[in-house]
Structure formats: C-alpha cells, structure tokens
Amino acid sequence: MPRLIVSVTPPTPNGDLHIGHIAGPFLSADVFTRVQRAKGHDCILVSYSDDYQSYMHRKELELGVDRIQIANENTERIKGTLAALGIEMSHWLSSYENRHFHGAAAQVYAAAVEAGAVVKRTSCEPWCPSCGTWGYEAFGRGNCNYCGSDSDASQCEQCAYPPEAALMEDFVCKLCGGKFDWPEVEREFLDVERFAGFLSGLYSSQPIRPPMAEWANEVLERGPRLWAITRPGEAGLDLGGNEACRLHTWFLGLAGYIAAVAEYAEDVVGDGALATAFWADRDARLVEFLGYDCAYSHMVVYPSLLSMVPGLSLMPKFYPNQFMKLNGKNLSTSRGHTIWARDLAVDYDRDAVRLFLASVSPEERETDFEVAVFQSWYRTVWQGAIDRLIDLARTERRETGFRSPIGADDTALLDSARRRWKRATDIDSFSMQALAAIVLDLVAMADARASRGLPVADLVETVGELGAALHPELSQRIKTALDGAEDDPVPQKRQSTFMEA
C-alpha cells in the first residue's frame, strides 16, 4: 500500500483555532489519516506553525509583545485545542529558527534556481513613508485586481487568486490608512507559466472537489505569469542573512512540510532515513488538506516546486475546502463573531463535536454552523437516540446472542452502507462529510426500527465500525457494550469486512 504524507495548511499563530479551522482541513486530515491507517497505509500527519507570516509582525505592533513570544504561546494553544478534539498530529513543527525548516527552504529554493525557474525583476512595490512599512501582505489592503473583493496582496480569500499590489484599486496602508509610495525594488519571481502544461496534466490526473477543479485550470489562464517569492525588508525567512533573499511564507509552505517530516523522522522516530524513504517513494502520495484561500500556493506553486527538487518523487493530491459561516454570517475573530474550537470541546463530548462538524464540513460549498441546530442535535441525537440505541443493542445481544436474525432488506442496507463507506474513504474520493452522512443515516434507520420494536444491534455495531475514524470513543463504547457487559460471557465476534481496502 502506498505511503501517505498528509499535510494541513499551517495556521498563523496569532490566535487559537476556531470551528472553521476544525471543520475544514484539520478534522478532515485527522479522519483521513485514521481511516487510511486502519486500512494498512503508513501515514505521517504533519503541520507547522507559520512563524514567518507577515501578520505576526502586525500583531507585534498591535500588542507591543515580541512576535515570537506570541507565536510560541499561540502554538501551544493550537496544539492544546487539537488534542482536546482528538486530532492526533504525527508531528507539529515550530518553524522559527528551525534547522530543518531552514535547510528545506534552502533545498527547495536552490532546486528552483538550478532549474532556471527563478528570475529577477525590478518591480514597483508599496511603501508607507509614514509608518515605515512595506505593503506586501499584512500592512496593505485594497481591492483584488481579479475579483474586486477586499484583500491583501498575498492570496485573495474570495477568489483564491494572488492579487498584484500595483494593480489593486484603493490600496492603502493598513496601519494609517494612507497612500503608498511605489519605489522600485529588485525581487525574485517563480516563472509559473513554464509549469502550465505540467499542472494541467496533474489536475486532469485526479478528481478535484468542485468548484476548485474549474478554478485550477482557470487560474493557469488568468493568473500571473510570474509569482514573486521574495519580499526584501519585510517578513519571511532571510535565507542568506543579508536581505538578498528573504523568502516569504507562501513560498515556504512546501519547506514546512518537508521539515516537519524530517524532524518527525529524526527526533520522534529516531530514524532520519524514514523521511527520505517517504519522499523518494514514487508510489507515495502527498495528501494536502487546505482552505481554498490557500489554493494558489498549494495547487500551483508547491507541485511546481516538487517537480524540480531531486529526491522528492511523490506528487500531491488536493483536498480543498470552502469557508464555514456562523449563524448565517461570516466568521470574524476581529468582530468577535466566532466560536473557539476549544470551547466546544469543553462544553460538549468531543466525539459529538467531531461528528457534527464533519456533517456540516464545507467541502464543496460554503456551510453554516447554526448554534441552535447543533444544540438540538446534541440533545435529540447524541444524548437521545444514540444513547438509547446502545442500551437497546446491549440488551438485544444479551437476550438473543451475538447475531440477531436479519432479513434481505437489512442485508441490502448494510451492503449499501459498506459501498458508500468504501467510496467516502478512498484516497482519491475521500469525504468526511459523506462519512458522517453514512453514520447519521444508520442512526436514523436504527432509531426508526427501534420505534417499531425491531432489532437494532447490527445497525448499531455498523455505526461503531464505519464511524471509528470520526468518533473513536463512541465506537469503543459501542464495541464494549456489544462485546458483553461485566460478568456476562463475551460472545464470539464475527469478522468485520468494513475495514478492507
């Protein structure tokens, strides 16, 4: 079975994670990794702290606190939130002054230069003389030159294109609101156009979630031909230590994943060769879970870079997600319109949070987390139907033995659930939302059967088996209940076939 490196887009450590982070890439990556491991795949799940992000500089100015202190404190919060929700990363890398990160960045950059894909150009860039800041990303704001939406000049959250500051309208300093001067700056650019054929072939070789499949090919036609990779004088990794090559964070993402795997292999497993074995394996896959606003870097830039780095043979598989709303409005930490994921984990059973967020995951379209709907579901389904069904199934097994007689309709129902599960958990068609739908459909069917006095144990057992990656603690609870209560003989288990690849 192919080895899998599973990555999650690194969060900017200027705060904790909200429900959108979890319902989007983080929970999806965890569920994907759990189910692939259950099938026998060797998986490494990684992410890292985006310490070189431009927004960390702005946070430092806003709070008057060193940005690395802020990053370290929030990284611990983020890791704590993931643990509270049962999201088990193989490794989390802190990128600031990390030797693995610096080495991987140098490796990727050198490969691109050696391949002739990096060119130097003089461009006019935004400089605020009043604030003494460059407007490359966190310190500049205007209207995206592709879609007209409010955006910085990195990656637009509306259209996912990389806006070009000089072409954006009403582009002003984020600190003072003033207009920028536009001095000439020598920067380095990735020649994106040379990879168009390669990328088009990559996109056609795999199913990509809508609407990103259409976006992927469209961006090759409409997007920039050259994509800046350096930002002199601003945030990023100063590769040479003299401002001659300050690589910005969007270029550094691939290096972050390479570094996280290397540090995991060396420091956690104690076998540095493991990283090489994964990256050099032509049958291995890099499975990227990402918010769609990160699509340009992950779906255009990183595959292009991967194709040039010696020893990195695997190609990526993309799982982008859209945004989640809260009670019909956009999530906004600045306006206080958010729910921190940690708070949900404190107030509710974490498996319930995992299952519900999976059911409303914004995989292909924007979804809405409605607090009243979640609270009602928690009472009626999680604390009501599921608890009741487990009790009924336990009693049924005690009274009738391990297996209840089922008819043709039940057999067809279970076979259908298995087929749906296989598709939902396939490497190329994975859907956490579809997996949650299978579980909730089985719960609803079992509840309907229970209301008619019909057996439910087989359906409840199937919920535990098929939903184990979504709700591991609930699945263990079901298994314990159906294996036999204390002082009862443990009935012989029948072999499950649901986890077959």
Asked whether residue 226 is assigned to any structural domain, the reply reads: yes
Q: Are residues 284 and 414 in the same domain?
A: no
How far apart CA 462 and CA 477 sit, in angstroms, is 13
How far apart CA 119 and CA 301 sit, in angstroms, is 15
Q: Are residues 111 and 239 in the same domain?
A: yes
- Phi, psi (5° rounding) for residue 493? -85, 140
At residue 119, the pLDDT reads: 98
Q: Are residues 206 and 78 in the same domain?
A: yes
Element (H, E) at 316: strand 315-321
Average pLDDT, consecutive stretches of 10 residues, N- to C-terminus, the chain (501 residues): 96 97 98 98 98 96 97 98 99 98 98 98 97 96 98 96 97 98 97 96 96 93 94 92 90 98 98 96 96 97 97 92 97 88 96 99 98 98 98 92 64 91 98 99 95 93 98 98 59 37 36
Q: Are residues 193 and 285 in the same domain?
A: yes
At residue 214, the pLDDT reads: 94
pTM of the complete model: 0.95
Burial 211-234 (b: 16+ CB within 10 A, else e): ebbebbeebbeebbebbbbbbbeb
Q: Are residues 211 and 282 in the same domain?
A: yes
Q: Read off the tokens for 378.
A: 């928690």
At residue 409, the pLDDT reads: 72
Q: Are residues 211 and 294 in the same domain?
A: yes
Q: Read off the tokens for 97.
A: 């002054």
Q: Are residues 381 and 316 in the same domain?
A: no
Q: Are residues 74 and 197 in the same domain?
A: yes
Q: Are residues 252 and 304 in the same domain?
A: yes
> How far is it between the farthest Cα atoms of the chain?
82
Burial 143-158 (b: 16+ CB within 10 A, else e): bbbbeeeebbbbbbbe
Query: Domain ends where: 291, 326, 361?
Result: 326
What DSSP string describes 404-472?
Answer: ----HHHHHHHHHHHHHHHHHTSTTT--HHHHHHHHHHHHHHHHHHHHTT---HHHHHHHHHHTTTT-H
Asked whether residue 500 is assigned to any structural domain, the reply reads: no
Instruction: Identify which of 80, 155, 104, 138 has the alpha carbon closest to the alpha carbon of residue 340.
Output: 80
Length of the chain (residues): 501
Query: Domain ends where: 326, 345, 360?
Result: 326
Asked whether residue 132 is assigned to any structural domain, the reply reads: no
Q: Which domain holds residue 465?
A: 370-483
Q: Are residues 310 and 404 in the same domain?
A: no
Q: Are residues 311 and 374 in the same domain?
A: no
β-strands 127-128, 329-330 pairing = unpaired
How far apart CA 105 and CA 310 sit, in angstroms, is 14
